[in-house]
Structure 1
Amino acid sequence: MAVSAKDARKYLTKYKRLDLAVDAYYNNPPTPAPQASTSKLNALFDKYKDGDDITIDGTIKLCEDLDVNPEDVVLLAVAYELKSPSMGQWSRKGWVDGWKALGVDTIDGMKTTLQKLREQLATDTDYFRHVYNYTFEFSRPPGQRSLGLDMAQGFWQILIPHGLQGGALAHVPSAAQDEDGDDSMDGSGGPEEGWKDDYTQWWSEFLEKNGTKGVSKDVWQMFFEFVRTIDSKFEKYDAEAAWPSTIDDFVEYAKNRVEGNA
């Protein structure tokens, strides 16, 4: 039985071990996605389009029909799935191919799929990474290499809490696990703590104080890894690793705030 990359990732993420994932797949294989109708999807696209594409006005109407706030984090997952070329814009090909791959061709079906995508974005680290990286690409202004600070801050404010709450951004301890396989300790007798919700605001405030105007692709992508691996006291940061200098400087800023010196 052939296994799609998407299904393989799903089972490995859930069961962590290859042997358990394989057993689970064969004992409880995924239900084949229903075949979506190209004609129905084209008709829906025509309902919302303005010219060749669906643009801002059509997107707002679509959100109303889907009962979703235009600023809901799940729309970033939809943008990834439908390969949105830019914010609030959807091409016919991306729309049809994307929804067909998801197996839906009605508004009710899309509502259900949005709930599934929201959960996957919250819990699946690999999926979160894909959506996170795509967010930078599709929201970056044409011809620009960086993303404006205000826009980057807005995306971080909805993405990071979502991933922290669901586990997609669960802390990866910087120290090796002990011989018994227990999590490394932070000195308090429990698992090492990582990024906290308040730190996302600290990061935004630091960038503003630093006079940052735009966020580069390197900083955007490395920030994802930083959030997952840094300890809550910023003590185990490896300054010799290939982190962007912006993150180097933030660690010093954050240490001072943790110690009550800022």
Structure 2
Amino acid sequence: MSRRLNRYFNSNNTPTAPAASASSASNSTAQLNSIFDKYHEAGDPPNIIGVNGAMRYLQDIGIGLEEPTVLVVAELLKAPTMGEFAREGFVDGWKACGCETLDKQRARVPALRSSFSNDEAVFKKVYLFTYNFARSPNQKSLPLESAVEYWKLLFASRFKAQMDNWIEFLETEYKRSIAKDTWNCMYDFVQLADADPTPELASYDIDGAWPSILDDFVNYVRKKQGASGMDTS
């Protein structure tokens, strides 16, 4: 958008500037549709890049399939579900970044990778997006196994003191799928846990407005730590 505005004003408002801008936008759309079509395979649904094409595409722009940057790109392009890209989101997402060629998309990846680690607003947006992205279309909640794998990926550099306890609690005590409210609240809980130097999470208020699963987890941790004088009711 800023590029088009600059082009318009630098042209001294000549009548040809808006047409040139429209032509540039149309060309960008055509280029992005061409890239999309390159990775769309014969067996894929209309206007969807399926799993095989998505894997090839991510590898071609330099993103490892097991790194969290996959989720950053998925959020940017409004991917409908894991292993798929939709045409509209693909075109609109990259057009908004001014990345209408594979070379420009590849060159953008380091900034996207860095933003996940260094821009809290980006991290939160990607984290909240991941819940719906990770679910299959017919699932009302996220299977526990999937939730654990995505939490490991998203919180690899966070929640270090409690991640093992969290997974142990989920797999041995909770044993159920994860609701969206739980997923969303985990963003705030991880921030609290990372700021709390105590192994028993002393700053957590059991009577606060947290989901019951987190109350149960904190009680689990406190019991495991053998903390005396803590409320485990």
Question: What TM-score comes out, normalization by structure 1 length?
Answer: 0.70
Deviates more, 1:252-261 or 1:96-105: 252-261
Following the alignment from structure 1 to structure 2, what is the Cα–Cα distance between the partners of residues 65 and 103? Answer: 18
8 Å Cα contact 2:39-2:57 kept in structure 1: yes
Following the alignment from structure 1 to structure 2, what is the Cα–Cα distance between the partners of residues 260 and 111? Answer: 51
1:7-156 matched pairs, under 5 angstroms: 37-50=28-41, 51=44, 52=46, 53-156=48-151
Other structure's SS at 2:147 match = helix
**What are the Cα deviations for residues 33-55 of structure 1, in whole angstroms up to 9, with x where unaligned?**
x9781111111100101232101
Following the alignment from structure 2 to structure 1, what is the Cα–Cα distance between the partners of residues 50 and 77? Answer: 14
Q: Could you tell me which amino acid in structure 1 is paired with residue 181 of structure 2?
A: D
Following the alignment from structure 1 to structure 2, what is the Cα–Cα distance between the partners of residues 98 and 66? Answer: 15
8 Å Cα contact 2:141-2:180 kept in structure 1: yes
**What are the Cα deviations for residues 231-250 of structure 1, in whole angstroms up to 9, with x where unaligned?**
13201111111111110011
8 Å Cα contact 2:80-2:86 kept in structure 1: yes
Deviates more, 1:89-98 or 1:134-143: 134-143
1:204 matched to 2:167? The reply is yes
Q: Could you tell me which amino acid in structure 1 is paired with residue 172 of structure 2?
A: K
Other structure's SS at 1:37 match = helix
**What are the Cα deviations for residues 145-189 of structure 1, in whole angstroms up to 9, with x where unaligned?**
210111111111111124x3xxxxxxxxxxxxxxxxxxxxxxxxx
Give the drift of 1:67.
Answer: 2.5
Other structure's SS at 1:112 match = helix
Give the drift of 1:211.
Answer: 4.0
1:135-214 matched pairs, under 5 angstroms: 135-162=130-157, 164=158, 195=159, 197-214=160-177
8 Å Cα contact 2:62-2:109 kept in structure 1: no
**What are the Cα deviations for residues 131-154 of structure 1, in whole angstroms up to 9, with x where unaligned?**
101000111122322101111111
Give the drift of 1:252.
Answer: 1.6
Q: CA RMSD in A?
A: 2.1
**What are the Cα deviations for residues 12-60 of structure 1, in whole angstroms up to 9, with x where unaligned?**
xxxxxxxxxxxxxxxxxxxxxx978111111110010123210100011
Other structure's SS at 1:240 match = coil
Following the alignment from structure 1 to structure 2, what is the Cα–Cα distance between the partners of residues 254 and 232? Answer: 14
Task: Name the counterpart of 1:229.
Answer: 192
How many residue pairs get aligned? The number is 197
Q: Which has the higher helix share?
A: 2
Q: Could you tell me which amino acid in structure 1 is paired with residue 118 of structure 2?
A: T
Other structure's SS at 2:165 match = helix
1:239 matched to 2:206? The reply is yes
Give unmatched runs, 5+ long, in structure 2: 3-23, 229-233
Q: Could you tell me which amino acid in structure 2 is paired with residue 54 of structure 1?
A: I
Q: Could you tell me which amino acid in structure 1 is paired with residue 55 of structure 2?
A: I
8 Å Cα contact 2:36-2:87 kept in structure 1: yes
Q: Could you tell me which amino acid in structure 2 is paired with residue 213 of structure 1?
A: R
Task: Name the counterpart of 1:253.
Answer: 220
Give unmatched runs, 5+ long, in structure 1: 3-33, 165-194
Following the alignment from structure 1 to structure 2, what is the Cα–Cα distance between the partners of residues 254 and 107? Answer: 48
**What are the Cα deviations for residues 112-139 of structure 1, in whole angstroms up to 9, with x where unaligned?**
2121111111112222111101000111
Moved over 2 A (4+): 255-261
Q: What fraction of aligned residue pairs are identical, expressed as a percent?
A: 36
Q: Could you tell me which amino acid in structure 1 is paired with residue 132 of structure 2?
A: E
